[in-house]
Chains A and B, each alone.
Chain A
Amino acid sequence: MDLSRRRFLQTAVLTAAAAGVTTACGGGSGKSGSKDSKDLKFWYWAGGLSDKVVADSKKHFSDVKLKTSVIGGDFKTKLLTGMKTAQTAPDITGIKGEDIASFLPNANRFLDLNSLGMDKLAPEYLSWKLKQATTQDGKVIGFPIDIGPCAVYYREDIFDQAGLPTDPAKVSAQLSTWDAYFDAGVELHKKVPKSFLINNIGAVFSMAVGQGTQRFIDEDNKFIGDQDHIRTAWTTAVKPYTLDIDAKINDNTWNAAISKGTVATGLGAAWYALDIQNAAPGTKGKWRVASLPSGPSNLGGSFLCLPATCANPELAFEVVKWILSPENQARGFADAALFPTSPAAYKLPELTGGDAFFGGQKTIDIFGPAAEKIPAAYEAPADAAVSAPYYSELTAIEAKGKDPEAAWKDAVSQAKQIAQRQGVK
């Protein structure tokens, strides 16, 4: 009994040790070779790329073993964890548009795509989008997957009931400024009382900030969130609240609001079309798209990046280049509503065709020109963190009727504190 137990223990310990050694070796040998591995780990999230294009890339690069993983949950956190060691890090990874700025201070953890040939491809892609993935010393860490040119999505039938123009060109012409847009909203709410113009004022703020060339922190790492351009955006955002054309929806009832016509317009990027279609399939044919009041803005749009530990940089770049070629980007738009970052794609049939959900409207007429005119603004690594209090205070106005002036003061003082915490001057 005693002996057998001892033997059992010895076996158990030996097995455990052996297992440990094998994993250690197995992990080590994977990346110990030179940078010409044919095995590439490829991470993205559901909807981040067209699954059809990714599947075709495996056929196109038949000599490469492309191991794709669709990562669920909080992608950025999982990427940060994965990049701790070379064994667990992907060779190609997606990075979301709202996260790219926070990765720029650690650009040395990624390959400079210019050294792999991005500099020659650059003219084919939108320069303002490339700038978001470019460090101040000129390194490019991300290949742009898609962009989010913004527009006004509106219910043609409700506009008709309210006696407003219904044709996209006329709507774009009449709602050319924020004030004209809000005036139309007042008119609409008067004629169709159950419908509001917008779902919440945070959406207006984010659009208005995106229309400028400066955000919350400037290139010298100085806090500018208390200056005129932000103040103007704030004043614009508060207007629909004071005019009572704000539906004040800050929870997950947006789906129901969209399908029941509680909100007659939506401010959103190109991919917003997919959200509306999923939330309200019954409203097919009733929606149209018009230009954003007071100029184009961008919301979101992701990148593909190569971590510095990439097993085969040249090959990985070839894969990325192929997946994001203008032709494949056009397929990505048709398949997953990813709006192309290469203007060449805007002339391809996938984009120039009419969209049945929008009553056959050729939405590229609105999004195409907007995409090329989006202002290039510097987005600091701490930008998202510093902008948070503005959005929270805007919801405080909606939720408890907080005085907009007091809310502005609180937002600025909190943003200043976060800026200081994040090392902004």
Chain B
Amino acid sequence: MSEFYTSVDHFALIPALMLALFGCAVLLFDFLVFPEPRQRKWLLVFVALGIGFAGLGLVRQQMFLAAEGLNEFTAFRGALTIDGFSIFFNWIFLAASLIVALVSYRYLEIEGEHHGEYYGLILLANCGMYFLAAGSDLVTLFVGLELMAICFYIMVGFLRFDKRSNEAAIKYLLLGAFSSGFLVYGFSVLYGIAGSTRLGDITAAVASRSPWDPLVFLALATTSVGLLFKISAVPFHMWAPDAYEGAPTTVTAYLSVASKAASFAFLVRIFLGPLISAREVWAPLLSAVAIATLTVGNLAAVTQTNIKRLLAYSSISHAGYILLGLVAGNPTGIKGVAVYLLVYTFMNLGAFLVVVALRREHILGEDLEDLSGLMQKSPVHAILMLIFLLSLAGIPPTAGFLAKYYIFWALIQARQYVLAVIAAAYVAVAIYYYFRIVRSMFISEAVDREPLASSLGLRLALGVTGVLTLAIGIYPQPWLELAQNSVLLR
């Protein structure tokens, strides 16, 4: 191999390459080989293969790191950094993509918008996420971000004949483009400071300046706007409820977990990389944002009657908790971010999957009322939803408790007692709105007799998310070790 594409480069790139390859293959095969609607199930095989090969790539990266005794390796002269962190997050993305692809088949059929390119977009978005977790160069990161975002703009508006879906897509596109503008502006300032786009160089250059240097502050402020938008932190959260409500539910699920996890990976890379020396500036800023996010997310969720909107606000509040892990800034906190995102992926996906199952031929299934009497109608769905909601609220022995536990632990360690008490108090608020759903399911009488949508993929996905949400809570040790690697290796 030439010096432009070494074997290390190959190792670093292979998962993304697989995702992109199979993503494009799906697009191509969709209209060349499988023109008939009923042949589309073969596309799922492509998705599974793409994700499988990408996973294999991750395993090889892990083995490579272990064999060489390395904490990390860089490729393409520093543009990609493969470490425990990137591998950990990439596993999350792959799992989310696979689960979402599995459940989309039946859902899109019901919506009457089943097109092959949907699966291509999932793989391409995942490819973008790969670069967000593994990129260590401003340009790589930005391209990854845009690749992911553009796929999502299309997927949010995938229901072409649904006004809400169109509106959501336009809103998300406009605000997203605007925030990307801020981000790029921030990046240009960082480049101006360092004269390089490599994160390592920028870190050194920023560290040589005072944290209160106006240029550093400008970079910090504009970059933060872009990043906080992506994780839907207050005050840049306005797009989330609308986009979540209008998008096809499967896309909402994907958006709320994978896009959020990827953006958090990106945010952690930037804040603990180039901006680490300005910690004293951004820590108070981020704690204010976190508190505002918790407040708005939790309080606004209380009055929602649309489940997707309710879960949208709840996911805003979860962003607040995750930010608190970063605010605490100690190893526990960073590990907490990783654990939280892992747990959040499964529990939030699970909750949305139940909403996916509620969509039937003639029933939209997005209202709180549509859940009423679920325990009578379909006890398995009701009990699974209960587990997901308890986990989202953070009640042991579900996984969500563990996630919150890490955040509290990190805050106590950092002696941020006030933040800890505020964060704890919002757990009680959250239980109120989560239990409005529980109340509908278990106490109210059913309004319709129509059975829930079902398919093998949906059942499988619900089973996996449900089992994991409980298993991580009851026996978390192996999962914590996984997250531990992601932090220690950094």
State whether these chains interact.
Answer: no
A contact residues vs B (CB 8 Å cutoff): none
